[in-house]
Amino acid sequence: MDPILLDFPFTGRCTVQNSPANRVPSHGTHLFATTYAIDFVAVDARGRSAPPSWRAALHTEAPGVFTGFGAPVLAPVSGTVTAVHDGEADHEARRSPLALAAYALTQRERVRQGPAGIAGNHVVLAAGSGPGAVFVLLAHLRRGSTAVAVGDTVQPGTPLGECGNSGNSTEPHVHVQACDSMDWERARGLPLAFRHPQTVAPWLPRNRDVIEAG
């Protein structure tokens, strides 16, 4: 099938991680319809998600030191809000190999918690209706930042919330995926692509690509 065409869900500069242009499944699993998911990490003019520090090498870091934390997350498609989840904590960020290794040991517990444990605070949009509807999930939002309610109609660029570090996230970023259902145990991930101001054709960025949006 043709990829689901989306706008970028952010403004400013982001780098790409876990892109399906590099591998499928992009996040190493088909679980929770993440097959074609992609992550956008806000970076500064030097390409850094946060300034260097001793904690980055040895310990965890407060999410607020990261460039993307609190940045607006925007609707990438027209649709209706079909799910909003808020209230999950924004936990400490991890760039240190030691901190990342310890975090990996807790992965199974987050999976047991279901969508809230993996996606954290999130919004789901339904593009279309009926059997052909596509559901677009934006995950890891900042606690208390969700700006829409179930039933709201949105357009591309409508603020949905703010970038956070909730759920299965090692540093603040925006996770985007498209799927055919909100039955997360059975849903299928769907391919996606993005509109780019410098090209007419739908575009799927690769890992480490830097994007200027807005």
Mean pLDDT for each 10-residue chunk of the chain (214 residues)?
Answer: 93 97 96 97 95 78 95 98 97 80 72 84 92 94 98 98 96 97 95 85 94 90
- What pTM was estimated for this model as a whole? 0.94
Q: Are 41 and 8 in contact (CB under 8 A)?
A: no
> What pLDDT does 105 receive?
67
The b-or-e profile of 94-106 (16+ CB within 10 A means b, else e) is bbbeebeeebeee
- Compute the C-alpha angle 191/194/198, nearest 5°: 145
> What pLDDT does 64 receive?
95
Q: How far is CA 55 from the centre of its chain?
A: 24
Whose CA is closest to 79, among 117, 112, 128? 128
**30 vs 20, 36, 75, CA distance in Å?**
12, 9, 24
Range of the domain at 106: 4-213
Give me the CATH number covering residue 127: 2.70.70.10
Q: Are 42 and 66 in contact (CB under 8 A)?
A: yes
Please tell me the total count of domains within the chain: 1
User: Which residues face 123 on adjacent strands?
Assistant: 84, 138
